[in-house]
Amino acid sequence: MFIFDEPTRGIDAGAKAEIYRIMNRLKQDGKAVVVVSSELTECMGISDRIYVMHEGSMTALIEGDEIRDLSEEVVVAYATGARTGKTTGEEATRLSGINVFKYKTLAYTVSGALAGIASVVLVAKLNSAQSIAGQDYELDAIASAVIGGASLLGGKGSIWGTLMGALIIGVIRNGLNLLNVSSYLQKLIIGFIILIAVLVDAFRNRERS
């Protein structure tokens, strides 16, 4: 067995090609060649089997035709633990080189601005201003996002999915009002819908893992 630890780091293209020829020759002679590398494209180009590690443990084994169809995003997801649930979506995003603070601040800013616009629309609709007028709307917002495919663990969701979830929740709310269901029972029903959506999401994540 031959082990190459970062064999092509800091060398020119000609030297890299020579090292690759040596590896291929060893492989053809029936020798096992282990390459430890942080270069994703290199691993994907020369390997018959790829082990992805995260914090000292193996998170993925990729081999055969899977390597040909592999993307760097998938490898990064395994290497940061995002694909296995060993890190949070926020931590995996940070480890991928994305400015988490910037986008989190932007998200809260846009959310606050939209909440302000929604309050103005609600005041115009009710022709009055009350401090509790929007009470429990956050429950509908959570239900809309979860039904639309967003994960409460983070890292998954879409605008169109959330929009469809909001339409579904609107239809459900309207139907409950037409049936004269009490507001307390409506909260229970919406909470039950959120619970079912979360359980489905957890089941899908487990199957994917």
> What does the pLDDT average to over 197-208?
75
List all residues 6 or more positions away from 56 whose beta carbon is below 8 Å from its beta carbon: none
Task: Give the percent of the chain with pLDDT over 90.
Answer: 4
For residue range 114-162, what is the model confidence (pLDDT) as tens digits? 888 988 888 888 888 877 777 778 888 888 888 888 877 666 778 888 8
pLDDT of 4 > 80? The answer is no
* Amino acid code (one letter) for 159: I
Left (φ > 0), alpha (ψ -120 to 50) or beta: where does 186 sit?
alpha
Rounded Cα distance, 206 and 200, in Å: 10
Rounded Cα distance, 75 and 48, in Å: 15
For residue range 19-34, what is the model confidence (pLDDT) as tens digits? 878 888 877 877 777 8
> What is the pLDDT confidence band of residue 109, given thresholds at 50, 70 and 90?
very high
Q: Which of 127, 117, 122, 170 is nearest to 148 (CA)?
A: 170
Return the SS3 of 78: helix
